[in-house]
Amino acid sequence: MKSHLLDLADLSRDEVVHLVQLARRLQDHPEPHALAGKILGLVFFNPSLRTLASTQAGMAKLGGSSFVITPGQGTWQLESRLGVTMNGACAEHIREGLPVLASFCDILGIRSFAAGIDLTADVADSDYKAMASVIPSPLVNLESAIAHPMQGLADWKTLDDLNVPQGSRFVLSWVNHPRALPLAVPATAVHMAALRGHEVVVLRPDGYALPAAVMEKARYAAQLSGGSVTETSDRNMALAGASIVYAKEWGSPEHYGDSATETALRAGLSDWQVREDWFTSARSDCRFMHCLPVRRNVAVADEILDGSRSVVLQEANNRLWTQMAVLHHLLKP
């Protein structure tokens, strides 16, 4: 594995399996001194609950320590645009700020969401890659415009924990939300399930097809693992025989950055809320996944989140173990 972990797609299937096995080993056999003296720097340009807490907790459980920077909240606001005259709110540029932070720690983790204006740039993760290029030490992506590798690893481990077999049907379903959300989680989830060898079905309304580059990458991963990737807007067809329903909200790639058109489109999609009646033709033991946070009774009904299908808490808990595995792998001499 390279020193930067930017995308789950940068890892081979064997590397993912190794990290998930390491996560399980650290869960069963604690190594409280493995990273003694090591420091994790965390930079959050966007809010978080799970990622913020689990990275710090994971580092502490391995004997290391961490610091958190939330640019503009108690620290200087950081500019990321190139060639800009910095006479506005930002007092410092990432080209100085991030290398300085990197010099204080052994590994950096950065969360920086999509700008949500230029789909091509966001799918290419241009801004995040520009940021990564100024960081000499290891970097882990804590969610960028198009990738959330830490979520993908935790999701893979959750499927292993549940003994969900390769070849079973994994439905990634679009669900509603009051505003357009980034593509990082659905792009990572479709790739993760394809690389794990599932029969992946992307269920989404018209206008919400994932970008072609995301689907192509996932189809290539599926080819290597004996899986498949298809998409449909037909819910009954998608859910027939499903073992997993993985719900996620995302903005329309077709109307990217056009919030007025998208808001009007989403207004007619309120039935894209996961309820028990979605599961009629699914396997009786079909489980429900979501990366969280989730808006109850908008994206997912209470009956699902509070019912026996839901594994969302287990899925969130796995963030801790899989991130510990990544830190251990990158930092342990």
Per-residue contact flags (x/-) with ligand CP for residues 288 to 307, judged by CB under 6 A: ---xxx--------------
Residue 141 is a binding residue for ligand CP (CB under 6 A):
no
93 exposure class (CB count in 10 Å sphere: 0-12, 13-18, 19+): middle
Q: Which of 50, 61, 204, 217 binds ligand CP (CB under 6 A)?
A: 50
Q: Which 147-206 residues touch ligand CP, going by CB under 6 A?
A: 151
Residue 323 is a binding residue for ligand CP (CB under 6 A):
no
Residue 39 is a binding residue for ligand CP (CB under 6 A):
no
Per-residue contact flags (x/-) with ligand CP for residues 241 to 280, judged by CB under 6 A: ----------------------------------------
Q: 51 vs 112, which CB is nearer to ligand CP? A: 51
Q: 238 vs 326, which CB is nearer to ligand CP? A: 326
Cα torsion 284, 290, 296, 301 to 10°: value is -10
Cα torsion 3, 112, 146, 82 to 10°: value is -90
Give yes or no for a contact between 131 and 143, defined as CB atoms under 8 angstroms apart: no
Q: 152 vs 197, which CB is nearer to ligand CP? A: 152
Q: Which of 4, 7, 51, 247 binds ligand CP (CB under 6 A)?
A: 51
Beta-carbon contacts of 117 under 8 Å, excluding residues fewer than 6 positions away, are 256, 257
Residue 1 is a binding residue for ligand CP (CB under 6 A):
no
Residue 217 is a binding residue for ligand CP (CB under 6 A):
no
* Helix and strand element counts for the chain (H, E): 12, 12
For 58, the enclosing helix (H) or strand (E) is helix 50-61
Q: How far is CA 321 from CA 7, 27, 59, 60, 177, in A?
A: 18, 6, 10, 12, 29
Residues at the contact surface with ligand CP, assessed by CB under 6 A: 48-51, 143, 151, 291-293
